[in-house]
Structure 1
């Protein structure tokens, strides 16, 4: 794992894909935190950029700093409560696209491996039978010369779940500077993991909405 230096991208500064009176949909770039950490230099993050545009914005879920893609923010407390409940009750639908090392042999499958925090190496996680249940569906979209493009649906939402489950399958996500070897890290300047689609029910009009953002790799 290489030393992490936080240098969030400036372009695009704020890629808003949709906004109404209740929600904002943001396409978050890789390298930008969802919310600030303890250090002062982490103030620049998705929620604080959005607050400058929409002062009532509320964070309701997160993406890893290195992961790009679709996020939903609430613009009032009622919408916040409603959307958080949908996430907690697995009423939302989301999938990610990842580019992984090697050619994945199986066309599709389910990975069920429990996970827990690696207390000796924070903020890393680890596969452990005594950990919390974790389940991921995967499907191969494209097999390239030395890599594979896969669609990932996390059934559970553990920290670093997709990264660890793909590594356990023998196909680490390209650019993963937490769990990858030197060749994996050198293969891309970013983590090739993108939240491409998010579906949920609108908190006010109860319409089912789907927002997408095409992966950049």
Structure 2
């Protein structure tokens, strides 16, 4: 059970914007055994409507509507690509092209439920990326997605051969330890074994830009969580 008090980035009478912590479901899953962010919000608000969602392991900015009309308006804005969506992710390796648009359709695997793949008969999926920093074994990349396919960034990065770190579905799933990139790393005296610095898919929904139903423009950002910040700090120190 995740006990969490969601960090509110912005709130008005119509919608609420949260910085979702990693490891928390956006909305209830089929089994309904785990608490979700939506359920936490429903304990505080009379009604909450799902506009879009983030994968469980992905942290960052997510919007919920507080009433039906706003829900319809915002859902349509996401659907019609009227919302600018930016993510930051840590990927494996060094990308030969520092800026690129990946335009590759995605659909669900017919063999493995819940796993998405590139397929010419899939739904259109477009991701822009730009490399922000390089650390040899890893790179920090900014993404802008123009479509909202399930696992889109994760599938597209696997497709170009540089999956997100720690991604169990589309990468090697191996947690990142400091010893994997720091020479002569030694355990501290009170440690029996090294603990990973990042143990979940290294992806963060960083920024959303949209115009609301009242015509107000919003440019909202969510701070990166501690685990990704800690890894980047170590990578910069050892670069």
User: What TM-score comes out, normalization by structure 2 length?
Assistant: 0.82
Structure 1 segment 6-155 matched on structure 2, within 5 A: 9-10=2-3, 12-42=4-34, 44-155=35-146
Which whole-Å deviations, capped at 9, do the CAs of 1:18-72 have from their partners, x for residues lacking one?
2111111111111111110121313x00100011111222111111111110011
**Match for 2:223 among 202, 214, 217?**
214
2:185 is aligned with 1:194? no
* 2:9 aligned counterpart, secondary structure: strand
Question: How many residue pairs get matched?
Answer: 205
1:53 aligns to what SS in structure 2?
coil
- 8 Å contact from structure 1 (residues 110, 136) kept in 2: yes
SS at match of 1:136: strand
2:24 counterpart SS class: coil
Structure 2 unaligned regions, length at least 5: 177-197, 229-239
- State the 4+ residue runs in structure 1 displaced beyond 3 angstroms: none
Gaps of 5+ in 1: 1-7
The separation in 2 between residues aligned to 1:114 and 1:81, in whole angstroms, is 26
Is this contact kept in 2: 1:9–1:29, CA < 8 A?
no
CA RMSD of aligned residues (A): 1.4
Instruction: Answer yes or no: is the 8 Å Cα contact 2:84–2:146 preserved in 1.
Output: no
SS in 2 for 1:47: helix
CA drift of 1:130 comes to: 2.1
Q: Measure, in 2, the Cα distance between the counterparts of 1:148 and 1:207.
A: 35
CA distance in 1: counterparts of 2:107 and 2:80, whole angstroms:
21
Counterpart residue number, 2:153 = 162
Q: Distance in 1 between matches of 2:138 and 2:163?
A: 10
Higher gyration radius (CA): 2
Distance 1:65 1:34 in 2: 7
SS at match of 1:200: strand
- How far is the alpha carbon of 1:190 from its aligned partner? 1.2
